[in-house]
Structure 1
Amino acid sequence: MSVKGLLRLLGAAAFVAAGLSGARAEVATVRLAKQFGISYLPLTLMEEERLLEKHARAKGLDLKTEWLRFTGGSGMNDALLSGNLDLAAGGVGPMLTMWGRTRTNLKVKGVAALNAMPLWLVSVNPAVTSIKDFTPKDKIALPTVKSSIQAITLQMAAEKAFGPGEQNRLDALTVSMGHPDAQTALLSGRSEITAHFGSSPFQEQEMKDPRARKVLDSYDVLGGPHTFNLVWASSRFVTENPTVTAAFLAALDESLRLIRDDPSRAAALWIKAENAKLSQTEAEEIIRSPQTEWTTQPKRMLDYLAYMNRIGLVTAKAADESELFHASPAAGR
């Protein structure tokens, strides 16, 4: 189902809900979350250009937004479970964990993917050229141990490198740390952190240091482009707020068009919003990278789920990526 098709369905649902006697009013304020990095560019543009408010007004809603910031998926999921967050945004690992754990209650599913982007494991230890070279003296920073997309990808890579049953070989070396702090620790030369499994733009900035080398690329582990970030929510929120959800999808569609049609303006807006230490040229290079896709089309999420099923991180299974979403995201966007 395309985004336009989903918008039509949500619009029809909103019309029916409005006509029902005593129908529950939709939220007046929607609470959204994002994390650090240029991979959240679609949401940053949505916030800066007030696109969600714009599309909500077009649908007859005076909607306010509250944007929250998290350093990892676990805290975001906790906020979603406690009712303090409506729309979460992060990596595939935390989303699949929530999808699996809430099948009989909140029924959390994806709303839409945001991108497909590679994740690099960068080390400043000259003795490390592959993940087989890490020793107990190394510490690998990543957003959340065990459950972040970086942690899951590292486990998948370890299993390939060391053999079946060895997926946890490097877990003891991992440390939960937000990307900005991890980058600072890695490059300071005064920290126990010798590697960072991060994301853009942190990984590109780290690679400018002459000591740094790329030890692992997630596209190599997965065999090609994969979804990095997506947005997820409970079935209750989507069901009770069809107009808000439709407005969000319309705002996301406009945000993605802005990135594709005017990457220069998108880069400038992101740099200003994040007070980023990147030049306009550097930001544009990341946005325009041939490896990066700004798309709502999910990619290789079932590969992640199959691994998480096999080692017991998630018990629920899916035969098609559409089962992971409240409705199928746009195809081929």
Structure 2
Amino acid sequence: MLLTSLGGIAQSAYAEGNISIAQQFGIGYLILDVVRDQHLIEKQGKEEGLDIKVEWRTLSGATAINEALLSGALDVASAGVPPMLTVWDRTRGRQNVKAIASLGSMPNYLLSNNPAVKNIKDLSQKDRIAVPAAGVGFQSRTLQIETAKLYGAGDFKRFDALSVSLPHPDANAALIAGGTEITSHFSSPPFQYQALEHPAVHKILSSYDVLGGPGTFNVLYTTQKYHDENPKTYRAFYAALAEASRIIQADKAAAARTYIRTENSKLPLALIEKIVKDPEIDFTISPERTFIYAEKLHELGVLKNKADSWKDYFFPEAWTHPGS
């Protein structure tokens, strides 16, 4: 997937029949890959009487994604639950950013190539943890919540000083190769599966351990303005996401082929099929355990606003599905 410049496209935002969408790297965005591959937004748009023009972007890291959304250079952003909650918190009463849908529940693994590191308590000043957005992304916030459990709320940023911002593909390559400052990587599918095929790499923590079970990894989100001013486009987009989820569930082998094709991935098809069929992974648009992040990050002072339920930070269209 090509990385397209964000410059000069702000004029397309908030125009009914236009939608610009940013995704990041990894199989956590398979629902979007299927939507794109099968032109489902355009298909659903015709049901609404619209010819929808779709623009796709690929970016790495929640910070860049959120800046693009708030500047008007994007209509729809995608990132982990904590970055979405951060921008929801900071835009209340202004842009009023909220989530559209989940992109699926899947674990993220904290991996290490340091044999001395068996769990996060073993991490030392000699270790560096690669994450897409140090201190603020899904992986960092998940680690902060776990750190608060172990060391107390006052020390929840203990491992921020060891964290380095690096896109998943680069971090994965560094972890597998060894010999760099990167000794750990808070990874995501498919990268964690690829890394674990190497004997020097082992898992020290899963995001599911932190959440107490399966939980949403990535979500899609937008501003109140885009939601309200583009009702037909928004409905078509939401319907396309729901359709893509059903397509994946119906034929996971075909979905794996779609990922390889859409992402121009060099990974073996057998590996991608294994990931898509992993019982830990569910490509559902229903949010799962997102409220744990909202609750814990408010307790830690990361979020100023307290959510009473997951529905506070999701647009109403998502309420028709189960959620948490």
Report the TM-score, using the length of structure 2 for normalisation.
0.92
User: 8 Å contact 1:298–1:329 — kept in the other structure?
Assistant: no
**Shift in Å, 1:330:** 4.0
1:331 to 308, 318, 321: 321
Structure 2 letter corresponding to 1:88: A
Give 2:37's aligned residue.
48
2:63 to 57, 74, 77: 74
Write the distance in 1 (CA, Å) between the matches of 2:269 and 2:173. Answer: 21
Structure 1 letter corresponding to 2:222: A
Write the distance in 2 (CA, Å) between the matches of 1:163 and 1:317. Answer: 20
Structure 2 letter corresponding to 1:322: K
Residue 254 to residue 239, structure 1, CA distance change in 2 (3 Å)? same
Structure 2 letter corresponding to 1:289: D
Write the distance in 2 (CA, Å) between the matches of 1:123 and 1:158. Answer: 17
Give 1:4's aligned residue.
none
Count of residues in correspondence between the two structures: 309
**Shift in Å, 1:28:** 3.7
**2:254 equivalent to 1:265:** yes
1:221 to 204, 210, 215: 210
2:285 to 284, 296, 305: 296
SS of the residue corresponding to residue 231 of structure 1 reads: strand
**2:300 equivalent to 1:319:** no
Give 1:14's aligned residue.
none
1:151-300 to 2 correspondences below 5 Å: 151-300=140-289
Provide Cα deviations, 1:264-323, integer angstroms capped at 9, x if missing partner: 111101111112232222111111111111112211111111121112111111111111
Provide Cα deviations, 1:18-49, integer angstroms capped at 9, x if missing partner: xxxxxxx9434311010000010000111111
**Shift in Å, 1:212:** 0.6
SS of the residue corresponding to residue 155 of structure 2 reads: coil
Give 2:10's aligned residue.
none
Write the distance in 2 (CA, Å) between the matches of 1:252 and 1:175. Answer: 33
User: 8 Å contact 2:18–2:233 — kept in the other structure?
Assistant: no
User: 8 Å contact 1:297–1:330 — kept in the other structure?
Assistant: no
Write the distance in 2 (CA, Å) between the matches of 1:326 and 1:156. Answer: 26
Structure 2 letter corresponding to 1:286: I
Write the distance in 2 (CA, Å) between the matches of 1:64 and 1:89. Answer: 19
Structure 2 letter corresponding to 1:216: L
**2:129 equivalent to 1:140:** yes
Give 1:31's aligned residue.
20
Provide Cα deviations, 1:59-79, integer angstroms capped at 9, x if missing partner: 111111110111111101000
Q: Provide structure 1 residue ranges, at least 5 long, that are not aligned to the other structure.
A: 1-24
- Which deviates further from its counterpart, 92-101 or 53-62? 53-62
Identity of aligned residues (%): 42
Query: Larger radius of gyration, structure 1 or 2?
Result: 1
User: 8 Å contact 1:112–1:329 — kept in the other structure?
Assistant: no
SS of the residue corresponding to residue 304 of structure 1 reads: helix
Write the distance in 2 (CA, Å) between the matches of 1:29 and 1:167. Answer: 41
Write the distance in 2 (CA, Å) between the matches of 1:310 and 1:160. Answer: 12
1:116 to 92, 102, 105: 105
User: 8 Å contact 1:143–1:177 — kept in the other structure?
Assistant: yes
Q: Provide structure 2 residue ranges, at least 5 long, that are not aligned to the other structure.
A: 1-13
Structure 1 letter corresponding to 2:47: A
Give 1:90's aligned residue.
79
**2:290 equivalent to 1:307:** no
- Which deviates further from its counterpart, 50-59 or 206-215? 50-59
Write the distance in 1 (CA, Å) between the matches of 2:135 and 2:319. Answer: 27
Structure 1 stretches (4+) deviating beyond 4 angstroms?
none
**2:51 equivalent to 1:62:** yes
SS of the residue corresponding to residue 110 of structure 2 reads: strand
Write the distance in 2 (CA, Å) between the matches of 1:251 and 1:261. Answer: 15
Write the distance in 1 (CA, Å) between the matches of 2:170 and 2:306. Answer: 35
Write the distance in 2 (CA, Å) between the matches of 1:66 and 1:144. Answer: 24
SS of the residue corresponding to residue 19 of structure 2 reads: strand
Give 1:5's aligned residue.
none
Write the distance in 1 (CA, Å) between the matches of 2:153 and 2:15. Answer: 49
SS of the residue corresponding to residue 165 of structure 1 reads: helix
Write the distance in 2 (CA, Å) between the matches of 1:253 and 1:124. Answer: 38
